[in-house]
Amino acid sequence: MRKISKISLVAAVAVAGFSTANAQPLEEAIKNVDVSGSVVYRYNNFDRDLKTTPSTSNQTEDNNYKIGLNLSSKVNDYVKFNSRFIVGGADAGFTTLDSKKDSTNGDGGADVTLTNAYFGFTAIPNTVVNVGKQGLATPYTVAVDINGNEQNGTGILALTTVGPVTAGAGYFNATNLNTSGNVLKGNVRNGSDMYVATVQGNLDFVKLEAWYAGLQNTFNSYTLAATSNLDLAENAKLGLEARYVNLELNSFINQNADQRENSMFRFAVDGKFSIVNARLAYTKTGKHGGATAADNDAKNTSLGWTVTSNGYADADYFQASLGVDILDNLNFTAHYGNLESNNVATVSTLNTSNVEQEEIYGQLTYKMSKNLSTYLRYGNVEQKVKSTGTKTYDQDMGRLQVAYTF
């Protein structure tokens, strides 16, 4: 974060034009304001060959932009106000502008939205209470993401820490889950109440988490997770994760009891050994469904580039990656993913089955400085009908992204 050190003449005149009984000098008013944010540009070029008779293709080419601006101000010794503005899409993600030569949606504009506006209270020792419009910081959702959409809600969240244990609970009387995210998008009501609770233990060698989340007339769910980061040697680090999610849809979504059950188990190991980085992960979803997160980028699901376990029933998803640091600030990593969802007679609502997907891509990442990075990614994904082996599409994919944070 950095302090506001300058203010435009227009803004200064506007501020000076207002006077109240509690007015204070401009310098005093802004000296406790912190500013941070991000600017991301992304170019996508996807060429999908649809395996129809005759064969057809679907080529997409677009520019994507997202700007995030965070403003926080110290109100007094115990209260801080936090806000976040997004210049991007209506779902607090990218605004996508078609760049094909025959496009009618060329270099247009973007939406400006207020996604966070809340007060943080720290009067109680080792406790923070956030009240207002805030990001949903749960493993089911993504509270802040410079690269995609975000989920938020209006309500209260309290967290307190005693020794190595942190406990928290929250209530939100409205969310944006119907307009932001993936699996639940378009299937819930933004005015539905949401409840969350968590207990976390941070031990010397392992972090344990337990979560409960419930969305009115939609679902009830719990999560159990254990993660560990081990320093094997000076240049050798190992990370381990085991995660289980159980999510049951409400009868409001589906009357059939068998079609409400969703679950996911994942075991993953990653490491960095000198200049080499690697990761292996296996995800298994429930027999009737694997819809375990509101957003595909959330912790409670597994995601490659375009392949995800979220919303696939009775699926086995294997992921592997291997990379090397070419230079201190230049890395190349190859990624592979294979998902097989069996042909299930009774599939949970919001789910798909009888699908096989295979994805491979490489990514070259260059970090010019601590706050400026870019990557170039190219790969391919294909999808088949699992029971017959019939290919439904074959897609080549390219992407360039530049991200600046401040």
Q: What is the pLDDT of residues 188-204, one digit of tens each?
A: 877 889 999 999 999 98
Placement of tokens 């997160």 in the chain:
293
Q: Residue 331 CB: number of other CB atoms within 10 A?
A: 18
Confidence bin at 255 (pLDDT 50/70/90): low
- The answer to whether residue 167 is domain-embedded is yes
**Residue in this structure with the two tokens 């994507």, named with its chain if needed:** 64
Inside any domain, residue 387: yes
Within the chain, how many helices (H) and strands (E) appear?
A: 2, 20
Structural domain contains residue 308: yes
- Quote the domain boundaries for residue 234: 120-405
Q: Give the Cα separation of 218 and 257 in Å (integer).
A: 13
Alpha carbon distance 312, 160 (integer Å): 36
- The pLDDT value recorded for residue 52 is 63
Residue 69 lies in a domain: no
pTM: 0.88
Q: Which of 369, 363, 360 is nearest to 333 (CA)?
A: 363
Tens digit of pLDDT for each residue in 14-63?
Answer: 333 434 445 556 666 677 889 999 999 999 999 988 766 555 667 889 99
Structural domains in the chain (count): 1
- What CATH number is attached to the domain comprising 218? 2.40.160.10
What sign has the CA pseudo-torsion 96, 42, 293, 311?
positive
Query: For residues 242 and 230, what is the distance between their CA atoms, to the nearest angstrom?
Result: 15
On whether residue 330 sits in a domain, the answer given is yes
Within-domain flag for 326: yes
Task: Calculate Rg over the CA atoms of the chain.
Answer: 23
Q: How many CB atoms lie within 10 A of CB 151?
A: 28
Across the range 220-232, mean pLDDT stands at 96
β-strand pairing of 276-285 with 261-273: antiparallel
User: Is 223 part of any domain?
Assistant: yes
Q: What is the pLDDT of residues 286-329, one digit of tens each?
A: 998 999 999 999 999 999 999 999 999 999 999 999 999 999 99
Query: Is 21 among the domain residues?
Result: no
